[in-house]
A and B are shown apart, each in its own frame.
Chain A
Amino acid sequence: MKKIIALTILFAAFTSTVFSSNYEEVMKTNIDKMLSLTSSTELIALANQFERIANTEKTEWLPGYYSAYCFVRSTFFDEMKNDEKHQQLDKAQKIIDQLVKSNKKESEVFALQALVYQLRITDMSKGYKYSKLATEAIGVAKKLNPENPRVYYLRGSNTFHTPKMFGGGAEKAKPDLEKASKMFETYKAENELLPSWGSLHNNQLLSKCK
């Protein structure tokens, strides 16, 4: 009997390690896949995949984070119409709301939140509200981790796209984008599952500042 108990424990330990290494492996595969995809439909499907992982791995924040990010990323491709963009961002927002509730201390979640707000600005009339909200989210992200390069990239991008009339423009954005560019070069995430986006667009914006 003792042996059976011992074995069951062993078995349980074995399966759980299988599952946890499975988690990391699955995540890694899907993150790599995400970076290679250039179709909205596929990214939305991948977002759903991450959501399924998130539903199972309730203690991890990264699956939900990537699910939201895939929805966000899907809006970059296939010349998506504004209505659909907002629908994908709505999905991302729903997940972010949950992430913020259960995980108040993750700088990256607030950085992603800021990105969602920025992408909401699909016409002038939305600018005032969402650039304000983005600024607030960037502020929180910065407070939680001042070493996060996405903080400066997002702040720069916010300023870059704000009309001069409201204190924005390329000139104003340059210092932040430059800082972000340097930080992206030296930034090393603690593990390879952590977010890495932003540097490409940052450099694009920076090249427009000259």
Chain B
Amino acid sequence: MKTIFTMFLIITTTLSFSQITISGKVTSVNGKPIPGVNIFIENTYDGASSNDEGFFKFSTSETGVKNLKASFIGYKMYQKEVELSKNIEVQIQLKESVNTLDAVTITAGSFEAADESRASIMKPLDIYTTPSANGDIMAAMRTMPGTQSAADDGRLLVRGGDWYETKTYIDGLVASKPYYSKTPDVATRGRFAPSLFNGVMFSSGGYSAEYGQALSSVLVLNSNDLAETDVTGISLMTIGGEANKTKRWVNSSLSLSGGYTTLKGYDKVFNSSIDWQKPVEAIKGTAVFRHKTKSNGMFKAYATTDYRDLAYNVPTGQNNLLMLISNRGITGYSNLSYRDCFSEKSCYKIGMSTTSQNNRTGLGEDDIKTHEIIIETRLSVVYDVSEAVKINWGAIETFNRYNEDFIENKGETYSMDFNDHLIGAFIESEIRFSKNLAIRPGIRSEHSSVINKTNLAPRFALALKTGKNSQLSGASGIYYQTPQADYLKLNTNLDFEKAVHYILSYQFGEVSTRLFRAEAYYKTYNNLITWQYGEFTLPKNLQNDGSGYAGGIDIFWRDQKSIKGFDYWVTYSYIDTKRKYKNYPEQATPYFISDHTFSFVGKYWLNKINTQVGMSYTAASGRPYNNPNSTKFNSERTKMFSDLSLNFSHIFYIGNQYSVLYCSVNNVLGHDNVLSYRPSGVADTQGNYSLIPVKRDLKRMMFVGLFLSF
């Protein structure tokens, strides 16, 4: 009994009195001291923090072999076994972790609007506050370099590519009809409301293997998670009205909205250059549901449907004859997705998007009825192999059913259709050699059943940090796209169209202060579809016979710091491009290309009156058009285009929610730009073709909106 008591005493005394001192210095690999590092004996309270010179010292009453650890954010955990029998001195070298927050990110070709990503150069809010955008994501992206201003089109035309070469994705799933139906001479706009998204990534080239079926560009929209609070909104606008209601539960939220748009008032008040018979009228309904599961997974469902109707006359160029163009259609889009994690290292996303469109377009006496269904299913997995290596792989299946009835002169009907199953898979890896160097090799393969062809598209990107706030990025890759429905309905004996991108980019600064980016690119196009006019003006002799190139420089500068309250960005793009495609007789610069494009967007917040004023200015050099009276194709140029738009937003309150009074004026200076010329199809008696000028619908457009929430 006594001995046990003695033992007990000995143990307790050693516990409290034998002290061993541990001291040393903490440095980084290059010998610089690191202050604030936590050095400690594992599973004890004993330890210390390193001081400004990296030195530390502490004592412990522990004995035996223990683990000495040192931890600091941004560095790998240091660990060493020590024998605690006498005082110890250690030199600790911490290795930098490659995943630090200020590590290099691959930015070549991409323009992001996100809140915190280092690659981002815009904020989601910028889409609303850009005067020339009028709340359209696509129009806001057209203030980014590398895009064409083409005010008579309204779609994204990127680095020499035609509109269909840009694909839109929502939460990783394709949105096949991102624009309202485009009809001749009238610009269209994007279908999706910017308020649905908290991140927008616009890539003007060199994008990752995750995205396919786009020759020139992708627009990636990431939708919001749960809605924050219950809110009711009513919008009254000079173009119509909208109402929405959002309900938030603990782990779910539901938003419903409906709206009506009409341009009838504009047609009466303003002098439109378009001879409207039935100005645009549209109704739209949207539902958004979100649910967070117990395992922190996120289920998202989004459905929207719209009906739109319009009709107008266009001159045909023959004896003052007019042709009636009409368009009426119902479009539905739904997007279901679920994301969750298998483990801490591996997360997955599954989803399905469905687009269906019933469209009736009248061209004079003829009618074209189309019915399209596009269903995409997708699975993707991100796996962190180690701290430095991340693998992203996935598979997609896209079903496309196209059906068209061409009703000639209210009589004979010609039907054309096709079905396509596109199966694709990609794998891509992001490898960080250090926090200053990252590469992203990837490969994508697709098989299209309608043309019965398979492609293999390797991609590669790299980024090198050259200073605290500067980096160099490069990207290259091969891009394939299945021919458009307009061709496949006539001929399925075709191959993928192909493009190769090479991009080099330099970036300096930070988006919250000042940011500069310059990018040079070169692209080649091959296997573009060519054709000639045949019967009923339908294309014939469809072949993958076209080719072309595009090269240029894009410059971006944004400054939010120099003048307090003032935020502006300036972009300049130069492009040299020629291509042989469609019915071009030879390689020529397409009609939508301006060699030089300059744009400026500036915003100023007036604190005293709760109002933001904004201005955007775009200038673009003349675009080519084809004068059939000339011997050379697409050899003439329009005059320079310019536009000055202004807006203001005034904020006020109803209860706890804020409401906005918004007003914008486009083309304030009233420049009556001829955007392009459309040649008439038939020559007059002297054998000359007349040219029909295409102008913007409204010379000066004013928009007023009152957006109330409560």
User: Interface on A for B, CB 8 Å cutoff?
Assistant: 3-4, 7, 11, 26, 41, 44-45, 48-49, 51-53, 55-56, 86-87, 90-91, 94, 123-126, 128-129, 132, 135-136, 139, 143, 163-167, 172
CA distance in complex: A52, B8 (Å) = 28
- B13–chain A nearest beta-carbon distance, Å: 13
Cβ proximity bits B318-342 to A, threshold 8 Å, 1 near / 0 not = 0000000000000000000000000
Report A-chain residues with C-beta under 8 Å of the C-beta of B71: 51
A48 touches B43 (CB 8 A): no
Query: For residues 43 through 67 of chain B, which have their beta carbon under 8 Å from a beta carbon of chain A?
Result: 43-49, 51-52
- Residue B46 contacts which of A52, A163, A167 (CB distance < 8 angstroms)? A52
- Is the Cβ of A44 less than 8 Å from the Cβ of B49? yes
B612 and A165 contact, CB distance less than 8 A: yes
Looking at the assembled complex, report how far the CB atom of A2 sits from the nearest CB atom of chain B, in whole angstroms. Answer: 12
Please judge, given known A-B contacts A4-B4, A126-B512, A167-B658, whether A132 and B73 are in contact too, CB under 8 Å. Answer: no
Report the interface size for chain B: residues with CB under 8 A from the other chain: 43
- A126-B115, A167-B657 in contact; A52/B47 too (CB < 8 A)? yes
A53 to B1, CA, bound (A): 36
Known: A51-B38, A52-B45, A164-B610. A128 touches B1 (CB 8 A): no
What residues on A are CB-neighbors of B40 within 8 Å? 48, 52, 55
CB distance A143 to B512 under 8 Å? no
Knowing A48-B36, A126-B115 touch, does A165 contact B651 (C-beta < 8 A)? yes
What residues of chain B lie closer than 8 Å to A136, measured between beta carbons?
228
Does the CB pair A41–B560 fall under 8 Å?
no
Contact B73 A90 (CB under 8 A): yes
Nearest CB on B from A144, distance (A): 11
Most buried by B among A3, A45, A136: A45
Inside 8 A of A90's CB, which chain B residues have their CB?
73-74, 101
Contact of B125 with A128 in the complex, beta carbons under 8 Å: yes
- Cα separation A95 to B125 with both chains bound (whole Å): 31
In addition to A48-B36, A125-B560, A165-B610, 11 A-B residue pairs with Cβ atoms within 8 Å of each other are A7-B4, A45-B49, A51-B38, A52-B44, A55-B40, A56-B44, A56-B45, A94-B73, A132-B228, A143-B250, A163-B607
Check A167/B73 contact, CB under 8 A, given A51-B38, A56-B44, A129-B115.
no
Residue of A nearest to B294 (CB): A104
A-binding residues in B (CB < 8 A)? 1, 4, 8, 35-38, 40, 42-49, 51-52, 71, 73-74, 101, 115-116, 123-125, 228-229, 250, 511-513, 560, 605, 607, 610, 612, 651, 653, 656-658
Q: Which residues of B contact A128 (CB under 8 A)?
A: 115, 123-125
Task: Give the CA-CA distance A124 to B43 in the complex, in Å.
Answer: 42
B73: chain A residues at CB < 8 Å are 87, 90-91, 94
Say how far A146's CB is from chain B's closest CB, in angstroms. 14
B100 to chain A: closest residue by CB = A90
- Per a CB cutoff under 8 Å, which of B47, B250, B605, B653 touches A167? B653
Give min CB distance, B89 to chain A, whole Å: 20
Residue on B nearest A46 in the bound complex, by CB: B49
Bound complex: CA A166 to CA B709 (Å) = 12
**What B residues does A41 contact at CB under 8 A?**
35-36, 51-52
Q: How far is the CA of A63 from the CA of B472 in the complex (A)?
A: 43
In the assembled complex, which residues on chain A have CB atoms less than 8 Å from the CB atom of B4?
3-4, 7
Which residues of chain B come closer than 8 Å to A45, judged between CB atoms? 36, 48-49
Which of chain A's residues have a CB closer than 8 A to the CB of B560? 124-125
* Neighbouring A residues of B48 by C-beta, 8 Å: 45, 48
Partner of B512, one of A44, A125, A135: A125
Interface of A is mostly: helix
Q: List 21 A-B contacts (CB under 8 A).
A: A48-B36, A48-B40, A52-B44, A52-B46, A56-B43, A56-B45, A90-B101, A124-B512, A124-B560, A128-B123, A128-B124, A132-B228, A139-B228, A163-B605, A164-B610, A167-B651, A167-B656, A167-B657, A167-B658, A172-B653, A172-B656
Closest CB-CB distance, B54 to chain A, in whole Å?
13
B514 to chain A, nearest CB (A): 12
Bound Cα distance A96, B511 (Å): 27
Q: Which residue of B lies closest to A122 (CB)?
A: B512
A125 close to B123 (CB less than 8 A): yes
Pairs A-B, 3 closest by C-beta atoms: A129-B115, A48-B38, A167-B658
Say whether A26 contacts B45, CB under 8 Å. yes
**Chain A residues, Cβ within 8 Å of B1:** 3
The chain B residue sitting closest to A140, CB to CB, is B250
Residues of A within 8 A of B250 (CB): 143
A3 to B1, CA, bound (A): 8
Residues of B within 8 A of A124 (CB): 512, 560
How far in angstroms is the closest Cβ of chain B from A204? Answer: 22
Question: Contact: A53 with B36, CB < 8 Å?
Answer: no
The answer for the CA separation of A121 and B657 in the assembled complex, in Å, is: 21
Residue of B nearest to A56 (CB): B43
- Chain A residues contacting B36 (CB-CB under 8 Å) are 41, 44-45, 48
Taking CB atoms, residues of chain B closer than 8 Å to A129 are 115-116
- Whether the Cβ atoms of A52 and B38 lie closer than 8 Å is yes
Q: How far apart sit A90 and B75, CA to CA, in the bound complex (Å)?
A: 13
Of chain B, the residue at the smallest CB distance from A166 is B658
Q: Report chain B residues within 8 Å CB of A7.
A: 4, 8
Task: Give Cα A163 to B589, complex, Å.
Answer: 48
Residues from chain A with Cβ under 8 Å of B49 in the complex:
44-45, 48-49
Chain B residues, Cβ within 8 Å of A165: 605, 610, 612, 651, 658
Query: CA separation between A174 and B40, bound complex, in Å?
Result: 45
**Cβ-closest chain A residue relative to B16:** A18
Task: Enumerate chain A residues within 8 angstroms of B101, measured Cβ to Cβ.
Answer: 86, 90
Across the two chains, which residue of chain A brings its CB closest to B125?
Answer: A128
Residue of A nearest to B224 (CB): A132
Closest chain-B Cβ to A55's Cβ sits at a distance in Å of 7
Does A48 contact B658, Cβ atoms closer than 8 Å? no
Closest to B120 in A: A125
Min CB distance B568 to A, Å, is 14
User: Smallest CB-CB separation from A120: which chain B residue?
Assistant: B116
B38: chain A residues within 8 A (beta carbon): 48, 51-52
Chain B nearest CB from A57 CB (Å) reads 9
Shortest B72–chain A CB gap in Å is: 9
Q: A132 CA to B228 CA in the complex, in Å?
A: 8
Q: How far is the CA of A45 from the CA of B48 in the complex (A)?
A: 7
Q: Which residues of B contact A94 (CB under 8 A)?
A: 73
A44 CA to B36 CA in the complex, in Å? 6
What's the minimum C-beta distance from B708 to chain A, rounded to whole angstroms?
A: 13
Which residues of chain B have C-beta atoms less than 8 A from A87's C-beta? 73-74
Hey, which chain B residues are within 8 Å of A166, CB to CB?
651, 658
Given the complex, which residues of B lie within 8 Å of A164, measured CB to CB? 607, 610, 651
Query: Which residues of chain B are near A167, meaning CB under 8 Å?
Result: 651, 653, 656-658
Whole-angstrom distance from the CB of A128 to the nearest CB of chain B?
6
Residue of A nearest to B657 (CB): A167
